[in-house]
Amino acid sequence: MNAKKAAAKSTKKPTRSPLLRALYIIIVVLFAVFATGLGVVYYFVYDIPDPTFDQPPRETSFVLDANGETIAQLHAEQNRVTVPLSAIPTHLVDGVIVMEDIRFYSHFGVSPRDLIRAAYLTLTRQDFQGASTITQQVARNYILSDQSVTIRRKVQEIYVALRLERKYSKTEILEIYLNEIFLGGSAHGFQAAAQQYFGKNVGDLTLAESSLLVGILPSPNAWRPRAADMAPARRRQGIVLAQLLRHGRITEAERDAALAAPINLVTPRTQPGETALAMYFVDHVITQAEDILVEQRGMNRAEASKMIHTEGLTIKTTLNLELQRAAERAALEIFTQENGILQRQQREARNDPNPEIRKLAAETSGFTWSNAHGLQPQVSMLVIEPSTGFIRAWVGGRDMIGRFGRDRVAKEQRQPGSAIKPLLVYGPPLAAGRITAASTIDDAPVRIPTDDPNEPWFVPRNFDFNTFWGHTSVRTGMARSYNVMAVRLFHSFGIRNSIDWAKRLGITSFVEQGRSHDRVPATALGGITRGFTLFEQVRAYNVFNNRGILVEPSAILSISTREGAVLYTAPSPEKRVVVSEQLAWLMTDILRGTLENRDGVTGTGFFGLRGGAMGRFPGEAAGKTGTTTNNMDAVFMGYTPDFTAGVWIGHDDRTTGIPTLIDGQLARRATVPALEAAPTNETPEERLQRLLRADPFVRGAFPSTGNNAVGSGFATAIFGRTMSLFTRNAPAAQLAQFPREWYEEYGVFGPPRRLGFVRARFSAISGKYPSSLTPAEDIRSDWFIAGTEPRPENPCDMHVLVKICVESGQLATDFCPPHTVVQQLRVRRDPYVVLLDGSGNQLHPADRARQVPFEDCTVHSPPSGNESPSGGN
């Protein structure tokens, strides 16, 4: 029995241990994974040709207007200059190494440590993380055509990097990187960037300049140095210098000197072969196209820029080239008819250092002159289509240089002046039903409390400083841009309420926190902490021109490849109703008055748009002017039925004001050179003739009729001139009108019945229904949203009959003799602050003579003793 068991046991197969079985499975799985991985890698890279540094063909990309006409051709190679590595400063090369690839000279094309770290971040953050060495960046940007962010492309990038390291030396790889890398604008490589930003060769760059350029590498267009805002580039420069110091490439003294060194940028210019037409707009389009490619195709900005400049793309835009030409021509013509030099006026000549200027200004009527050596103002203009938000014209400056210079339209913030009033002061209470176009506000001296302990009171003044206009309707106050009544309304409605309402229209640049903020009374007059961009103001005004609908301005219709494949098609504009069409109509009607001369009221924009030699636009228009303190900024925001536009004029250095506009016209120029001493007993006419003989560029001084508009008249005139040029072949009767429905029921501009407006009479003093005491000259009529019109049951209570003592001009008392007492129709007024002018004289509202006196008669005092008053009832 035992023998049988032993025999059976001896014939039984030996069993494998669980450990060996597991090891076997692991080996099989690893082999399968390895084989699969090799297959995948082979599939990813089998068709990649042998990498070479021979320059591949580069295709021109085209930027088209909305009708398919070419605006610009984009050539990347026009701003690429190859230099040997030996010509590049050591501190620049060191900066690139410490920032981009500290192990460049020790790895074999890829960095395993960084790959493992990137894989970990990718897995834990659910986001694809890069780990690119300099060699990999060369492989990606110079060799590979697929710019998508995928595992396939990453494998290809590693494969090409490994082959590049076998084929080329580190010096060759680094040299191609430094000559190819994108550095903003159209600059590829550090030589092109040195020329673009500093106007010098790369070998002449200082440590400060080199570190600044290296710093912007990760996001060149976002961080590129700009004269208007050096902070982003300077922050990046500090990071680079810190890394150079950390790795022992520079000393602390060198770092400190570089941080303190000034950065002198050169003015960017258009690239060779490019037209200057709409180049500021082209800059904006390039930036927007980069945004689109980064978002939709997963590229980084360098890859997107390379694709735009080298792969023959066609970018169709919203621009109307005819309107663009008109806008650019108006921006250049509006200052003078000949040389583009701004006219200076007689009052500005009094402090001129040239004695000839001072004498002529003192002795010649209406003297104007121009200074070719003085700082000249700049201009920006944005025009969009109301219903779509399509950008139809974009003027970034009078120089038309483009190529990522100052962005005076979309990024530069300037104070809007009184152009903010419809958006911030009058719009909110009109929308809330707190006021109507007929509501009156007393334009009388006032002190508004503030939360600033150093300046506890804000005392607003009108443009003419010592004038207060008394009881004024909202419609007239907007047309004449009275400041005092605007501040009163802004304060009474609530500053926070007004700001919140303006934000609904797309005004996003308010500062509401911190030591300096916009929750102050001066905000009503455009005294904004940081200012607004022209872009956001046009977007907001367009709400009134688009029946209360907010639409985002856009510039690109489509992007396609050279083969015709569509990469991007603009979606339908997103639209959002933010105010009622009733308010949009009413605001348009009120803003039409600022550009007209009607009912005895001349709007602030009338001379610039209608009466000027340059403007004279006959079509329908609405808008608002704005001028900041000392005429530092001049603004016009407005619209026609076809377009919504904004114009800004000012100096980039923010130190020099804009002159006034005489009669809405531009006098001929008179340049005055430095001359020898004038002969004795010379008359003004003889002096002028001598100047004319001495300088062939002198054109003389010409008289003015004395009707002056503020600096915003220039901005209004540019708007009017643009529209006149664009519509010059259209008879006035055929010019577009605001939505046709706003005309057809009346034959003239008026609200359609469906909007529920009624026409009603009101008292120009109280805004209420005329009472039996309201004189005929104080009765007006206006449009009201149904339910807000004046009602007979609430008549005017400001016209009252009072007894006046003719000897004192004060309220009669029982002690005034009967023969001194008369009954008069007067206007009640709340007490106001009495201010003094420069000579110590009291300032009162212009309609003070009509007001009910605040004091009882002080001429006729109570009798002595216990005698009764002399009479009166």
Q: What is the DSSP string of 136-191?
A: HHHIIIII------SHHHHHHHHHHHHHHHHHS-HHHHHHHHHHH-B-STT-BSHH
**Strand-pair partners of 822:** 804
Q: Cβ contacts of residue 745 below 8 Å, gap of 6+?
A: 752, 753
| Vertex 617 angle, CA 614 and 620, to 5° | 160
Write the DSSP string, 497-536: HHHHHHHHTT------SSSS-S-SGGGGGT--SS-B-HHH
Helices 207-215 & 252-260, crossing angle to 10 degrees? 80
Q: Cβ contacts of residue 529 below 8 Å, gap of 6+?
A: 510, 511, 516, 517, 518
Whose CA is closest to 533, among 429, 359, 410, 624?
A: 410
Q: Where are the domains of the chain?
A: 76-272, 321-406+600-734, 742-785, 798-873
Token pair listed for 411: 């990024």
Assigned fold of 321-406+600-734 = Beta-Lactamase (3.30.450)
List phi, psi (to 5°) of 843: -110, 130
* Residue 716, burial from CB neighbour count under 10 angstroms (0-12, 13-18, 19+): buried
Residue-level pLDDT at 122: 53
CA distance linking residue 443 with residue 313, whole number of Å: 58
Superfamily of domain 76-272: Biosynthetic peptidoglycan transglycosylase-like (1.10.3810.10)
CA distance linking residue 263 with residue 241, whole number of Å: 15
Amino acid letter at 399? Answer: D
CA distance linking residue 691 with residue 204, whole number of Å: 47
| Vertex 827 angle, CA 825 and 828, to 5° | 130
**Strand-pair partners of 62:** 73, 314
User: Tokens 């540019």 sit at which residue?
Assistant: 718
Token pair listed for 625: 């002017």
* CA–centroid distance for 491 within its chain: 26
CA distance linking residue 644 with residue 540, whole number of Å: 10
CA distance linking residue 715 with residue 720, whole number of Å: 9
Residue-level pLDDT at 49: 54
| Cα dihedral 387, 388, 393, 396 in deg (nearest 10) | 110
Whose CA is closest to 198, among 149, 141, 261, 285?
A: 261
Buried-exposed string 690-715: b where 16+ CB fall within 10 A, e elsewhere: bbeeeeeebbbbeebeeebbbbbbbb
Residue-level pLDDT at 362: 61
Residue-level pLDDT at 273: 34
Amino acid letter at 180? Answer: E
The 3-state DSSP class for residue 760 equals: strand
Beta carbons of 726 and 699 less than 8 angstroms apart: no
Low-confidence ranges of the chain (pLDDT < 70): 1-16, 21, 24, 28-58, 75-81, 111, 114-131, 143-154, 156, 186, 228, 267-277, 334-376, 399-405, 597-616, 655-711, 728-749, 864-873
**Strand-pair partners of 556:** 317
List phi, psi (to 5°) of 769: -65, 135
User: Tokens 């997103």 sit at which residue?
Assistant: 574
- Indicate if the alpha-carbon torsion angle 486, 488, 489, 495 is positive or negative: positive
CA distance linking residue 80 with residue 72, whole number of Å: 18
* Per-residue pLDDT reduced to its tens digit, 415-472: 999 999 999 999 999 999 999 999 999 999 999 998 888 888 999 998 877 899 999 9
| Cα dihedral 300, 305, 306, 309 in deg (nearest 10) | 160
- Indicate if the alpha-carbon torsion angle 347, 351, 353, 357 is positive or negative: positive
Residue-level pLDDT at 319: 95
Q: Does the pTM exceed 0.85?
A: no
List phi, psi (to 5°) of 694: -75, -30
CA distance linking residue 716 with residue 626, whole number of Å: 10
Beta carbons of 589 and 783 less than 8 angstroms apart: yes
Amino acid letter at 268? Answer: P
* Per-residue pLDDT reduced to its tens digit, 766-824: 999 999 999 999 999 999 999 999 999 999 999 999 999 999 999 999 999 999 999 99
